[in-house]
Amino acid sequence: MGVYKVVVGIEGREIDAIVRAGVPGTVELGHFEGDVRRPSHRIVFVPGQECAGPSAWVQIGKYDEAGELLVAAEGWVSSGPTKLAGQSGIGGSDSLYASIQPEDPASERGSECTKNVRFGAMACCTSKGANGCYVTCCNSCCADPTRCPGASCCG
């Protein structure tokens, strides 16, 4: 089973996740208000291998002020950065893109991620960053190093 790195561009930063082929992964980004998580974005991806190389379905959701998750962009990606089709009225969709590339499972990052990631319906990790932010990774290992330094579910 292949291991892939999916990179998603949101609002001028890149979020990356290491995932296994055929396993749906989810990344949630947000911040804490006291002990309560306030999500800002949710990314869902399903990576796989096609004849032409790796590909993934990627969907980026953005939470509105009421806490409702709205689909901001979605689409199929392969190799280099691909702009995702945006939904009207969500805003910011011009800057939403994603890419997928093989990750060597024997590399330091690949082995740490695939060794430590849990798979299953409730297989999630939440890591808090230095500035009150968090990342939650399900069926993947992920990080948001630009906006949430120190938060990583990669080992």
DSSP string covering 66-131? TS-EEEEEEEEEESS-EEPEEPTTS--GGG-EEEEEE--TTSHHHHHHHHH---STT-EEEEE-TT
Q: For 139, which DSSP code?
A: S
43 vs 141, higher pLDDT = 43
Q: Cβ(44)–Cβ(25) under 8 Å? A: yes
The range of the structural domain enclosing residue 113 comes to: 3-143
Domain contains 154: no
Domain contains 111: yes
Tokens found for residue 118: 């849990």
Domain contains 148: no
Distances (CA, A) of 31 to 28, 93, 109: 10, 21, 26
Q: Is 53 exposed, middle or buried (0-12, 13-18, 19+ CB in 10 A)?
A: exposed
Domain contains 153: no
53 vs 61, higher pLDDT = 61
Is this prediction's pTM over 0.95? no
Q: What is the pLDDT of residues 87-114, one digit of tens each?
A: 655 554 557 889 898 887 666 555 555 5
At residue 34, the 3 state secondary structure works out as coil
Percent of the chain exceeding pLDDT 70 equals 81
Domain contains 28: yes
| Total structural domains within the chain | 1
Q: What is the pLDDT of residues 61-77, one digit of tens each?
A: 999 989 999 998 999 99
Average pLDDT, the chain: 83
Domain contains 78: yes
What confidence tier does 124 reach under pLDDT thresholds 50, 70, 90? confident
